[in-house]
């Protein structure tokens, strides 16, 4: 029998992956954080995507069944509490995949359970929830999966049978750093100025600040022995802002809805890394503090 996947974090990306895993032939069980969510789910016992219902099961964190395969897709601000709520259920040798924005939580999960096999993932797929457990796949992307120890991962092959595009990544740390760098350049500015991504390249003042952010990020990456891109980071950031010009960043959406942002795992991670390396990053530090102020007002 194909081994079950548990999914911790049934937001848009967690739900997308739940459907993908069902499509690939795996039994899936969502771990939900409230009885209310569980009651809603049990009305259909499935997630609806593109007029197709993907059947699966769900439970709360305090269920008693053990976990051998776990996909972690919680927002980074929720990772510690969510993971700790199920940690006693995770078997030694279990397979854990961390698929989140930013950096820091991947290393934290690994440190909590060195007796498990932890992999990291990064995706460019877009998705959003029309309603609870009713999903819209907004943009087809690629999910990169890799081991921080750069081990081969033959178990990824059966996962490719679903509708998402997956690639094994021999340098997942670089991939995550590249996404972190772009997020540092775009997300805090859009959240601060309450603008679409495209405004960053159309407003000279915003563009100037974005360039300053990129210069700081490049210094920190170099100190971490990371060569981000062949050309300057600002060129990549402008390209992403251009092709996603009409999009609202996830950080801006969080600010607009009064939710905690993932600033600590994006700009916060960069600032902590810079501090350890003795590199001043005043623009990123300013943005970190401003977004934190917005969150508390």
DSSP 162: S
Domain containing residue 94: CATH number: 3.40.50.720
User: Which of 129, 153, 170 is at the close of a domain?
Assistant: 170
Of 29, 37, 160, 179, the catalytic one is 179
CB-based contact 66:91 (threshold 8 Å): yes
Residues 123 and 179 in one domain: no
Last residue of a domain, one of 170, 192, 223: 170
pLDDT of residue 151: 83
Write down the pLDDT at residue 75: 92
Please state, in angstroms and rounded to a whole number, the distance separating the CA atoms of residues 87 and 48: 29
Q: Rounded to whole angstroms, what are the CA distances from 56 to 41, 51, 109, 173?
A: 10, 16, 26, 32
185 and 159 within one domain: no
DSSP 165: -
Q: Is residue 166 located within the same domain as residue 179? A: no
Q: In this predicted structure, what is the pLDDT of residue 1?
A: 53
Distance CA 270, CA 290 (A): 15
CB atoms within 10 A of CB 151: 11
**Alpha-carbon distance values, 159 to 5, 139, 153, 189, 233 (Å):** 11, 19, 11, 36, 32
Residue 72 and residue 199 in one domain: no
Examine the domain organization and report whether 40 and 99 are in the same domain.
yes
**Claim to verify: residue 205 and residue 123 sit in the same structural domain:** no
Q: What's the CA gap between 257 and 252, in Å, rounded?
A: 9
Task: Say yes or no: 152 and 179 in one domain.
Answer: no
Helix axes 282-295, 172-193, angle to 10 degrees: 60
β partners of residue 7 = 30, 71
The rounded distance, in Å, linking the Cα atoms of 228 and 240 is 15
What is the C-alpha separation between 51 and 294, in angstroms, rounded?
38
Q: Measuring CA to CA, how many Å separate 10 from each of 47, 74, 78, 128? A: 10, 7, 12, 11
* Whole-number Å distance between alpha carbons of 45 and 58: 8
Q: Residues 154, 210: one domain? A: no
Domain boundary among 170, 200, 215: 170
CATH number at residue 277: 1.10.1040.10
Query: 179 an active-site residue?
Result: yes
| Number of separate domains in the chain | 2
Full domain range(s) for residue 201:
174-295
User: What is the C-alpha end-to-end distance of the chain, expressed in Å?
Assistant: 51
Q: Are residues 128 and 271 in the same domain?
A: no
Other C-beta atoms closer than 10 Å to the C-beta of 153 total 17
pLDDT at residue 123, rounded to an integer: 94
Q: Which two tokens stand for residue 231?
A: 């050309």
Tokens of 243: 């092709």
Q: Are residues 37 and 140 in the same domain?
A: yes
Instruction: Please answer whether residues 154 and 126 qualify as being in contact, where contact means their C-beta atoms are separated by less than 8 angstroms.
Output: no
Looking at the structure, do residues 109 and 218 belong to the same domain, yes or no? no
Instruction: Please state the pTM of the whole predicted model.
Output: 0.93
pLDDT along the chain (297 residues), means of 10: 90 96 98 96 96 97 97 95 97 97 94 96 91 92 92 92 96 96 97 96 97 98 96 97 91 92 96 98 98 87
Regarding whether 157 and 31 lie in a shared domain, the answer is yes
């Amino acid at each position: 029998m194909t081994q079950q996947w548990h999914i911790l974090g049934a937001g848009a990306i967690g739900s997308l992956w739940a459907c993908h895993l069902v499509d690939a032939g795996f039994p899936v069980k969502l771990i939900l954080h409230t009885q209310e969510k569980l009651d809603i789910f049990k009305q259909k016992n499935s997630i609806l995507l593109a007029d197709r219902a993907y059947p699966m099961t769900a439970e709360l964190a305090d269920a008693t069944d053990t976990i051998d395969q776990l996909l972690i897709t919680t927002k980074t601000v929720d990772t510690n509490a969510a993971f700790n709520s199920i940690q006693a259920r995770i078997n030694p040798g279990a397979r854990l995949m961390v698929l989140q924005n930013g950096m820091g939580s991947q290393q934290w999960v690994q440190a909590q359970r060195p007796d498990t096999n932890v992999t990291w993932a990064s995706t460019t797929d877009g998705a959003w929830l029309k309603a609870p457990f009713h999903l819209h796949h907004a943009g087809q992307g690629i999910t990169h999966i890799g081991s921080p120890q750069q081990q081969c991962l033959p178990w990824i092959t059966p996962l490719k049978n679903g509708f998402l595009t997956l690639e094994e990544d021999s340098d997942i740390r670089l991939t995550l750093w590249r996404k972190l760098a772009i997020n540092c350049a775009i997300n805090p500015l859009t959240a601060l100025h309450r603008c679409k991504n495209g405004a960053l390249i159309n407003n000279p003042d915003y563009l100037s600040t974005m360039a300053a952010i990129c210069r700081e990020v490049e210094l920190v990456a170099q100190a971490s022995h990371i060569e981000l891109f062949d050309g300057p980071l600002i060129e990549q950031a402008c390209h992403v802002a251009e092709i996603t010009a009409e999009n609202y960043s996830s950080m801006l959406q969080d600010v607009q809805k009064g939710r905690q942002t993932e600033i600590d795992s994006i700009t916060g991670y960069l600032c902590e890394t810079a501090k350890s390396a003795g590199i001043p990053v005043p623009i990123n530090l300013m943005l970190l503090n401003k977004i934190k102020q917005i969150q508390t007002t």
